[in-house]
């Protein structure tokens, strides 16, 4: 149990948005992705440690899977966000 609490603490501090994002009001996507990853983390741990019987190596694989899950969710949000704003005055990137 202490390892789980330490993992949750390090996970939440590492996934907090920088102050510049909070000044721009861009904290909701990172907060949502962090919450979803926090819910998926026990599933990844159960899958890799107990179901696949990888033990300590499974714990490392679960951590990597959680970070990849977060990366995919943030990437999907960025793609959705840019496509939603394409052709409007709110578009932030016009390409080359």
Burial 47-73 (b: 16+ CB within 10 A, else e): ebbeeeeeeeebbebbbebbeebbeeb
Q: Where residue 94 falls among pLDDT bands split at 50, 70, 90?
A: low
Is residue 66 within 8 A of residue 34, CB to CB? The reply is no
Model pLDDT for residues 39-67, shown as the tens digit of each residue: 999 999 999 999 999 999 999 999 999 99
pLDDT score at 78: 85
Averaged pLDDT, 1-5: 54
Distance in angstroms (rounded) separating the CA atoms of residues 39 and 28: 17
């Amino acid at each position: 149990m202490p390892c789980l609490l330490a993992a949750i603490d390090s996970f939440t501090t590492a996934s907090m948005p920088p102050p510049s994002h909070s000044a721009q009001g861009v904290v909701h996507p990172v907060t949502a992705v962090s919450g979803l990853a926090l819910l998926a983390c026990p599933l990844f741990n159960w899958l890799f440690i107990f179901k696949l019987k990888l033990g300590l190596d499974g714990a490392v694989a679960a951590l990597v899977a959680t970070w990849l899950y977060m990366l995919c969710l943030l990437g999907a949000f960025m793609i959705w966000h840019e496509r939603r704003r394409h052709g409007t005055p709110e578009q932030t990137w016009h390409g080359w």
